[in-house]
Amino acid sequence: MKTLIHKYRFELLLFALLMVIFNKIFFFSNQIYTAFIWPANMLLLGIVSVGIFHEGKIVIKWAKNILFIIILSVPFFASYVFNNQTLTPIALLSYMAFYGIIFFEVMRQIVKRNEVTESIVLGSLCGFLLIIFVTSFSFLLIDFIDPDSFRSLKGTSIPEKYHQIVYFSSITLSTIGYGDITPSSDNARLLAAFWGIIGQFYMVAVVGIIISKFTSKYNNNGL
C-alpha cells in the first residue's frame, strides 16, 4: 500500500491540493464550508502529503512526523485552536513549515529526474500549488498578528478568511492583481511583494528545468 501511494504520490497530492485550494467554488454556504469541508480538506491534504516522502535524513523525518501530528490535530480542534492567541500562530507556523518541507521534497524529486515525464509535469504543478498554500498561511499569520493588514477581508476566524486569502495569494503569485483585496500595512505589502517575486522565479525556474531535461533527452537520442 505504501509503495502504491508513493507511486501515485503526485497525482494524489495534486488532487488534494486542488480540493483544499479551489473546492470552495462548489459550496455557497460559508458555515458548511467552514465547519465541515475545510477541516476535511486539511485532513486529506495532510495524509496524502506523507506519501511524497520515500526516504530521507532522520532529522527531516522527525521534523515531518512532529509537524504531521500537529497539522492533523488542528482540524479536529479548529474552533478552539483558532480562538486561542497562543495556539493560532503555532498552528499557522506548523502548516507553513510542514508544507514548506513537502515543497522542497517535491522540487528535489523533480530536479533528480533525468528526463521529462508525467511526474515532472504533475510535480511542477504541485509545487506551484504548494507555494500558494504556504503563502496563504503566511498572510493569515500576518493578519492574525495585525488584523488591519488587509482591506476587504470578511469574517473574523481563520477558516472564514482562509478561502479569501487563498484567492489573494493566487492572484499575487500570478501577478494579476485585481485589487479587491489589498495589503494595507507595510509588513503585508512587503510580504506580498516577496511572494510575488517567488512566484515569478518559480515559473521561470521550472520552465527552465523542464526545457533543459527535454533538450537533454532530445540530444541523447541523436535527434
pLDDT in tens, 42-69: 999 988 887 887 656 666 777 788 888 9
Pick from 76, 34, 37: which is nearest to 160 by CA?
A: 34
pLDDT of residue 218: 54
pTM of the model: 0.89
> How do the domains of the chain map onto residue ranges?
2-220
pLDDT of residue 34: 84
pLDDT of residue 49: 86
Biggest alpha carbon–alpha carbon distance for the chain: 62
Cα–Cα distances in angstroms (integers) from residue 104 to residues 7, 49, 109, 111, 126, in the given order: 18, 12, 9, 10, 11
pLDDT in tens, the chain (223 residues): 556 677 788 999 999 999 999 998 998 888 888 888 888 999 999 888 878 876 566 667 777 888 889 988 998 888 899 989 999 999 999 999 999 999 998 998 888 877 777 888 888 999 999 999 999 999 999 999 999 899 999 888 888 899 999 999 999 998 888 889 999 999 999 999 999 999 999 988 888 877 776 666 555 555 4
Q: Which amino acid is at 168?
A: F
Helix, strand or coil, per DSSP, at residue 219: helix
Which grid coordinates are listed for 1? Answer: 500500500
Angle between helices 118-145 and 186-220 (to 10 degrees): 170
pLDDT of residue 65: 83
pLDDT of residue 220: 59
